[in-house]
Structure 1
Amino acid sequence: MSDFSHRLDSVYGAYPVDLDARPDLAAALGAVNRDLAATLPEAGPMRLMCTPSDDEDIPDQYHAALPDDRWHDSVQDPDAAGVAEAAQETVLGVLWQVWPVCLEHRTGVHAHAGADERAVWWCRTGEGHVLCEVGELAQTLPGRQRRALRRKERRRER
């Protein structure tokens, strides 16, 4: 484990976010997990955890945790882009891997809230461009990888 990452059992009071009560966060986490499954399946699906603040002036902290409960960094009052950012920070801080990557420029991309408030993966290279919406990374894969992913999904559905 990295010196800069944490285990949820070492964080006082961390608890799983009730995704039934927060469908917005459930959708955001589902989109992030689709992207992980498509591009970094060995990471496994993430969970969204919350560490409540002891100080009323400081908001609760939300963490995207790997299946083994490791996480890195946190966000406050998450929206869809915030959940994606928390997941990205965990992958970088715990697995030491840049994720996701713009295949055209071979650089890391960043979670960003688009003009319509939907979360997108944004490549800052050059003039910058939207790579895709969070949850749609599979569509950016080269044809062979995309077809293999679809075959794997069909086998799982059977």
Structure 2
Amino acid sequence: MSRFSYRPDPAGAPRPVDLTDRPELAAALDAVNRDLAATLPEAAPMRLLWTPSDDEDLPDQYHAALPDGRWHGDVQDPDAAGVAKAAQETVQAVLWQVWPVCPEHRTGVHAGTGAGERAVWRCRVGEGHELCSLGELTQTLPGKQRRALRRKERGREG
């Protein structure tokens, strides 16, 4: 049975990931949600789901999902860049939105790994360039937009 097959058994349905057991995934999801809030504020924060594998030779599947449980794509053996890629797939397929976008080239950027094995957003136009580390897309916003975001965040804290 493939993962695309109909599963009448609810045990095969995606389940929320217990992030207390996976602090590296919690940090990755937090970074993705910071970037999402900064650059696509109308989107709700993502959450992580997992689908246990039916086959002991295949790993479990992880999904970056919207709060209502909709998701697209999956990650095996997730790391920070993998969580970002899954979130990107979900935003693109479910919300029909290119996310995130390079402010210089106005094209979509891609999650990957940069120097020191840190997760980064990369633009592939021309020679390509590293936009920023995962969780730091706020830095790429124009000053006026960045200041408005900080004011909004202070309002939530106060």
TM-score, normalised to structure 2, is 0.92
Q: Which residue of 1 aligns with 2:120?
A: 120
Report the counterpart of residue 13 of structure 2 in structure 1.
13
1:83 match: 83
| Structure with the greater alpha carbon radius of gyration | 2
Distance 2:111 2:125 in 1: 14
1:54 corresponding residue in structure 2: 54
Task: Detail structure 1 runs of 4+ shifted over 3 Å in the superposition.
Answer: none
RMSD of aligned alpha carbons: 1.2
Instruction: Tell me which residue corresponds to 2:149.
Output: 149
Residues paired across the two proteins, number:
149
Q: 1:28 to 1:109 in 2, by over 3 A?
A: same
1:26 and 2:30 are equivalent in the alignment: no
Alignment partner, residue 130 of structure 2 = 130
Residue 14 of structure 1 and its aligned partner are, at CA, apart by 1.3
Distance in 2 (CA, whole Å) between partners of 1:41 and 1:105 is 21
Q: How far apart, CA to CA, are the structure 1 residues paired with 2:143 and 2:16?
A: 37
Change (3 A) 1:11 1:109: farther
1:113 CA drift (Å): 1.1
- Give, in whole Å, the separation in 1 of the partners of 2:62 and 2:138: 26
State the Cα deviation string for residues 3-58 of structure 1 (Å, max 9, x = none): xxxxxxx8833111110010000000000000011111211100000001010111
Supply the distance in 1 between the matched residues of 2:138 and 2:11 (Cα, whole angstroms): 34
Corresponding residue of 2:108: 108
SS of alignment partner, residue 117 of structure 2: coil
- Where does the alignment leave 5 or more consecutive residues of structure 2 unmatched? 1-9
Cα distance in 1, alignment partners of residues 26 and 112 from structure 2: 18
TM-score, normalization by structure 1: 0.92
> Could you say which structure has the higher strand fraction?
1
